[in-house]
Chain A
Amino acid sequence: MRGGVRTWARRGVAALLAVLLAAVVAGCGGGTGARVPGVVRASWGDPQNPLEPANTNEVQGGKVLDLIFRGLKKYDPTTGAAVDMLAERIESTDAQNFTVKVKDGWTFSNGEPVTARSFVDAWNYAALVDNKQRNASFFAYIDGYGKVHPESGEATAKTLSGLVLKDARTFTVKLSTKFSTWPGTLGYPAFAPLPRAFFEDHAGWLKRPVGNGPYAIDSYTRGSAMKLSKWDGYPGPDKAGNEGVELRVYTDNNTAYADLQAGNIDLVDDIPSTQLRNVRKDLDDRYINQPAGIIQTVVFPLYDAKWNGPGAEKVRRGLSMAINRPQITSQIYRDTRTPASDWTSPVLGEKGGYKAGLCGAECTYDPGRAKRLIQEGGGLPGGRVTLTSNVDTGSHRVWMDAVCNSINNVLGDDRACTVNPIGTFADFRSRIAQQQLGGMFRSGWQMDYPLIQNFLQPQYYTNASSNYGKFSDPRFDRLVDEANAESDTGKAVAKFQDAERILAEKMPAIPLWYQNGNAGYSAELSDVQLNQFSVPVYERIKVK
């Protein structure tokens, strides 16, 4: 029997050794770390979705699209204005029918010319429901969307009837309603052109995407790193000022920060909140803290009768006045957030529709008036309110406690406001989608394009896609419609701001603060800046 034991054990050990050896062999060989001169080593996160332009709706995938794609328009990183990139001109006489002419001389990095068809094919692909693109709804303004993307069931058409090819460089777009600022949305990466390779060898393209931007991808190891180098044949005005970019995936921003301190990486665009205290000391002036197009709000469940009855708007306004915003943004967030006083973002600029103080007294801390308003409105429904958010990111738990404390102090009742932390973002989102929440909940809004329309219409228009609280006000809807039909931008913005004043009156969502983008970089780099989407403007970075 002993012999048997030994043979069995030996066989087991041998098999085990074989597996281990395979792992060991893979582990030997060239290390890394040697830096390539002129290349920016930057922190990255694993993109959540496949890297298709119309399938990327978060900032990490957005970074790559920003590097390898250029669309008809591009948002200027400083002013936020949508400037023509591939568009020679986009014309319309009625704010509904647009003619787009594409510039001559642009190619993809594989040599294929960028034509009107590159756009039309890409947009048709994005809109078709069979392709399951997360950003399909961006094409909903184009005529014929209902046929290629029905709410349920099969598509009855393969292409958008509103898109018509005229010649190699021209196509026309018919929208389903008037939307004067529509060309301003075209800087969003979902509207990028796609080469034929995307359709012909889709799997191959996803392994190594090819675009028409200032960089081309050299190698892509999914989940860990992407190496890009400057594309010398890039015809655009914003050529890369460095040799290339290496994106490295981090799951922990503390780790990325340690790497930055050790000189192992050059650029980190997410400073951990625990390090904000030391960041000036560690990095001197190599720290960026500037507004990004993100606003955090607390939404009321207006689908619930107890928040929507007579006088309830007084309670809602009172709650807004009970929150001490400046205290929270300075003490918890160390000024990486700015107290909000409207429902947009400072990155829009005065001309784009941002108006500090538009919300007025309703968004200013005033304990006495807050308490009075809440009492006049009949008090909190049931004497209680809960505040819900996911707590896996963004230090949400901390500010939630602070907001509730602020409310409780105002009302002189320790148990008036309680927090309801939810473990994961996914769980939180699905509870919102199913309207399970009976109290206030957090809603962050990251703009898609720097237009005031993008902050208001999707969130507060009746039955709009991201109107989670089910706010509905006919006057608000009418003003938004009028603004969209207005062909003069200045007048359109004024109409949107009129609509915003209705939000101040009804307070369907409390504006909390505008979120900043922050980043730190090594002494090797200069000319580092973030754009409105808090993405580094890689092509402008210079390496010493």
Chain B
Amino acid sequence: MGRYVIRRLLQMIPVFIGSTFLIFFMVYALGDPVAALFGDKAPDPAVAARIRQELYLDQPLWKQYLHYMGQVLTGDFGTAFTGQPVLELMADAFPVTIRLTIVAVLFEVVVGIALGVAGGLRRGRPLDTTVLMLTLVVVSVPTFVSGYVLQYLFGVQWGIVPPTVSPEATFLELLLPGVVLGLVSLAYVTRLTRTSLAENARADYIRTAVAKGLPRHRIVVRHLLRNSLIPVVTFIGADIGALMGGAIVTERIFNIHGVGYQLFQGILRQNSPTVVGFVTVLVLVFLVANLVVDLLYAVLDPRIRHV
């Protein structure tokens, strides 16, 4: 087990180096960010040269990358164009996005699995068909549509919640954005649970359990659900990484100042230290989430061994 984890951690190193280099290369290949700092005016050549020197932009790309990675390894993610250290931006942004992700994941797990179980146990009945139809609709509506529509209905039309989230971003305020963010994944969780449940319901061990005369709730929770959740756990694990980084649209609609907001600002202004720094952390989140999922398999299914 320990060896397995160490092997996986070692494998992360080349993935990390490769992906950060790609990001670095792509962001810097977009062109010279200094030109945009001067708005519609031509850059002052002397000032532009100083800024380039300060940002290490006057060096060849590979040198810039080595310099940057050297900085990152000592815990310094550089400085954004506003003069603020990127680390400070991260300290502001990540807690907000983590909270948003928690709301979204809780929502998709609780509601998604409940709906999936309800549908899976009553295959073919009206309830099942309704759930399938609803999830189909949810999957086909893009987040920016559901986001703006729900914001308008709940925030503007009915005035139940404020349409945007304040800089403090409390859990209460994040409820609606969390639901919007989790909607699409909710549909997947529901469908995965339903299918997996429906398949396992025909398995031999369930028939045995029924024959033993176990109470129904015990069969469903202990035997059926536990075995059916493996694909769902995989999905949710991968989804956490995606939700952390993919909240750009939701965060924009609800004016949440999290990771998506910083990435969006960074890309728009071609603020390379911000973009590379945040994406680097997101890469780490993805890698760790995947490892945790793989370890969780063994917990859920005794047949799986990591050697």
| Contact status A444-B252, CB under 8 Å | no
- Which chain A residues border B172 with CB–CB below 8 Å? 31
Pick from B58-66, B156-164, B276-284 the stretch touching chain A.
B156-164
* Given contacts A426-B269, A429-B36, A258 and B155 within 8 Å (CB-CB): yes
**In chain B, what residue has the closest Cβ to A448?**
B41
Q: Is A93 at the interface (CB under 8 A from chain B)? A: no
- Apart from A32-B168, A250-B164, A255-B253, list 16 A-B contacts with CB within 8 A: A8-B5, A8-B295, A13-B292, A27-B169, A28-B170, A30-B168, A33-B166, A50-B82, A221-B167, A222-B82, A223-B261, A249-B257, A261-B156, A426-B33, A430-B36, A466-B40
Q: List 17 A-B contacts (CB under 8 A).
A: A4-B2, A5-B1, A20-B98, A31-B173, A46-B82, A48-B37, A49-B37, A49-B83, A57-B41, A132-B50, A134-B38, A250-B255, A251-B264, A264-B163, A429-B35, A430-B31, A430-B34
Residues of chain B from 167 to 199 with CB closer than 8 A to chain A in the complex? 167-174
Q: Is B220 at the interface (CB under 8 A from chain A)? A: no
Alpha-carbon separation in the docked complex, A96 to B211 (Å):
104
User: Within the complex, what minimum Cβ distance (angstroms) separates B246 from chain A?
Assistant: 16
| Contact status B253-A136, CB under 8 Å | no
**In chain B, what residue has the closest Cβ to A7?**
B1
Residues 426-451 of chain A, each 1 if its beta carbon lies under 8 Å from chain B, else 0: 11011111000000000111100000
| Contact status A466-B255, CB under 8 Å | no
Pick from B115-123, B135-143, B224-232, B298-306 the stretch touching chain A.
B298-306
Alpha-carbon separation in the docked complex, A432 to B1 (Å):
58
Residues 1-45 of chain B, each 1 if its beta carbon lies under 8 Å from chain A, else 0: 110010000000000000000000000001111111111111111
| Contact status B40-A48, CB under 8 Å | no
* Given contacts A225-B167, A430-B32, A151 and B46 within 8 Å (CB-CB): yes
Residues of chain A from 405 to 436 with CB closer than 8 A to chain B in the complex? 423-427, 429-433
- Which chain A residues border B88 with CB–CB below 8 Å? 222
Q: Is B205 at the interface (CB under 8 A from chain A)? A: no
- Which chain B residues border A129 with CB–CB below 8 Å? 46-47, 50
Q: Is B102 at the interface (CB under 8 A from chain A)? A: yes
- Chain A residues with CB under 8 Å of chain B are 1-2, 4-6, 8-9, 12-13, 16, 19-20, 22-24, 26-33, 46-50, 57-58, 129-130, 132-134, 136-137, 149-152, 206, 221-225, 248-252, 254-256, 258-259, 261-262, 264, 392, 423-427, 429-433, 443-446, 458, 465-468
| Contact status B151-A258, CB under 8 Å | yes
| Contact status A57-B253, CB under 8 Å | no
- Which chain A residues border B2 with CB–CB below 8 Å? 4, 8
| Contact status A20-B167, CB under 8 Å | no
**In chain B, what residue has the closest Cβ to A16?**
B292
* Given contacts A32-B166, A426-B35, A149 and B305 within 8 Å (CB-CB): no
Q: CB < 8 Å: which of B31, B36, B45, B94 contacts A152?
A: B45
Residues of chain B from 200 to 257 with CB closer than 8 A to chain A in the complex? 252-255, 257
Q: CB < 8 Å: which of A5, A26, A225 contacts B298?
A: A5
- Which chain B residues border A32 with CB–CB below 8 Å? 166-168
Interface of chain B: mostly helix, strand, loop or mixed: helix
- Which chain A residues border B174 with CB–CB below 8 Å? 27
**In chain A, what residue has the closest Cβ to B5?**
A8
| Contact status B41-A258, CB under 8 Å | no
User: Within the complex, what minimum Cβ distance (angstroms) separates B256 from chain A?
Assistant: 10
| Contact status B169-A264, CB under 8 Å | no
Q: CB < 8 Å: which of B37, B46, B254, B307 contacts A149?
A: B46
User: Within the complex, what minimum Cβ distance (angstroms) separates B32 from chain A?
Assistant: 4
User: Within the complex, what minimum Cβ distance (angstroms) separates A98 from chain B?
Assistant: 24
Alpha-carbon separation in the docked complex, A223 to B168 (Å):
12
- Which chain A residues border B70 with CB–CB below 8 Å? none
- Which chain A residues border B155 with CB–CB below 8 Å? 258, 262, 264
- Which chain A residues border B83 with CB–CB below 8 Å? 49-50, 206
Alpha-carbon separation in the docked complex, A20 to B106 (Å):
13
User: Within the complex, what minimum Cβ distance (angstroms) separates A456 from chain B?
Assistant: 15
**In chain A, what residue has the closest Cβ to B155?**
A262
| Contact status A264-B82, CB under 8 Å | no
- Which chain A residues border B44 with CB–CB below 8 Å? 134, 136-137, 465
- Which chain A residues border B51 with CB–CB below 8 Å? 132
**In chain A, what residue has the closest Cβ to B254?**
A255
Alpha-carbon separation in the docked complex, A466 to B102 (Å):
49
Alpha-carbon separation in the docked complex, A151 to B44 (Å):
9
User: Within the complex, what minimum Cβ distance (angstroms) separates A34 from chain B?
Assistant: 10
- In the A-B complex, the 9 residue pairs with the smallest Cβ-Cβ separation, listed nearest first, are A426-B36, A426-B270, A429-B35, A224-B167, A32-B166, A4-B1, A23-B98, A430-B35, A430-B32
- Which chain B residues border A251 with CB–CB below 8 Å? 252, 255, 261, 264-265
Most chain B Cβ neighbours within 10 Å, of A1, A251, A264: A251
Residues of chain B from 95 to 114 with CB closer than 8 A to chain A in the complex? 95, 98-99, 102
Alpha-carbon separation in the docked complex, A225 to B167 (Å):
7
Alpha-carbon separation in the docked complex, A2 to B302 (Å):
8
Q: Is B87 at the interface (CB under 8 A from chain A)? A: no
Alpha-carbon separation in the docked complex, A446 to B38 (Å):
12
Q: Is B287 at the interface (CB under 8 A from chain A)? A: no
| Contact status B40-A132, CB under 8 Å | no
| Contact status B40-A424, CB under 8 Å | no
* Given contacts A224-B257, A255-B253, A5 and B306 within 8 Å (CB-CB): yes
**In chain B, what residue has the closest Cβ to A444?**
B40
**In chain A, what residue has the closest Cβ to B260?**
A251
Residues 261-291 of chain B, each 1 if its beta carbon lies under 8 Å from chain A, else 0: 1101101111000000000000000000000
User: Within the complex, what minimum Cβ distance (angstroms) separates A226 from chain B?
Assistant: 11
User: Within the complex, what minimum Cβ distance (angstroms) separates B170 from chain A?
Assistant: 5
Alpha-carbon separation in the docked complex, A46 to B255 (Å):
12
Q: Is B56 at the interface (CB under 8 A from chain A)? A: no
Alpha-carbon separation in the docked complex, A206 to B82 (Å):
10
User: Within the complex, what minimum Cβ distance (angstroms) separates A534 from chain B?
Assistant: 14
- Which chain A residues border B30 with CB–CB below 8 Å? 423-424, 426-427
Alpha-carbon separation in the docked complex, A9 to B299 (Å):
8
- Which chain A residues border B34 with CB–CB below 8 Å? 430
**In chain A, what residue has the closest Cβ to B289?**
A16
- Which chain A residues border B302 with CB–CB below 8 Å? 2
- Which chain B residues border A22 with CB–CB below 8 Å? 95
**In chain B, what residue has the closest Cβ to A224?**
B167
Alpha-carbon separation in the docked complex, A267 to B200 (Å):
58
| Contact status B92-A223, CB under 8 Å | yes
Alpha-carbon separation in the docked complex, A153 to B54 (Å):
15
- Which chain A residues border B31 with CB–CB below 8 Å? 426-427, 430-431
Q: Is B84 at the interface (CB under 8 A from chain A)? A: yes
- Which chain B residues border A264 with CB–CB below 8 Å? 155, 162-164
Q: Is B68 at the interface (CB under 8 A from chain A)? A: no
| Contact status A255-B252, CB under 8 Å | yes
**In chain A, what residue has the closest Cβ to B30?**
A427
Alpha-carbon separation in the docked complex, A152 to B50 (Å):
9
| Contact status A259-B40, CB under 8 Å | no
- Which chain A residues border B152 with CB–CB below 8 Å? 258
Alpha-carbon separation in the docked complex, A133 to B37 (Å):
11
Q: Is B49 at the interface (CB under 8 A from chain A)? A: yes
Q: CB < 8 Å: which of A20, A58, A430, A458 contacts B39?
A: A58
